[in-house]
Amino acid sequence: MSDETSFSGDWTKGQPALAFQACRPCGHRWLFARSFCPNCGSKDVETRAASGRGTVHAATLVVRAPSEDLRAQAPYCIVLVDAEEGFRLMAHAAPGVAIGDAVAASFRPFGAGLVPYFERVE
């Protein structure tokens, strides 16, 4: 993944890439595409590639999965990651990842889809 360049790939579309949006006028950044900036309302937004690096803000271990498809995967770790680019995302993570850890994303199959998967980095 390249840093903050115009980008069309996205894990939500089955591609192993992490995309975010940025508002050109106010600089706000967010995850999950929309046609306007949630901060200022501008429609002058662009999609960029994220580096996949960040810091763990919160972590939890899911023992009781919410669906039959995911029960086979349990237990699994879910984290909130503050991305280097300035947005926060929820994703899966390696066991033992903890609050404050520096992490980097890869992409793994999970259930019927592809998800970001964070692991600790030095």
Q: What is the pLDDT along the chain (122 residues), one digit of tens a residue?
A: 333 444 567 888 888 989 999 999 999 999 988 999 999 999 999 999 999 999 999 999 999 988 887 888 889 999 999 999 999 999 999 999 999 999 999 999 877 788 899 999 98
Sign of the CA dihedral 47, 15, 69, 63? negative
- 117 neighbors 108 (Cβ within 8 angstroms): yes
Give pTM, 2 decimals: 0.85
Residue 113 corresponds to which amino acid?
G
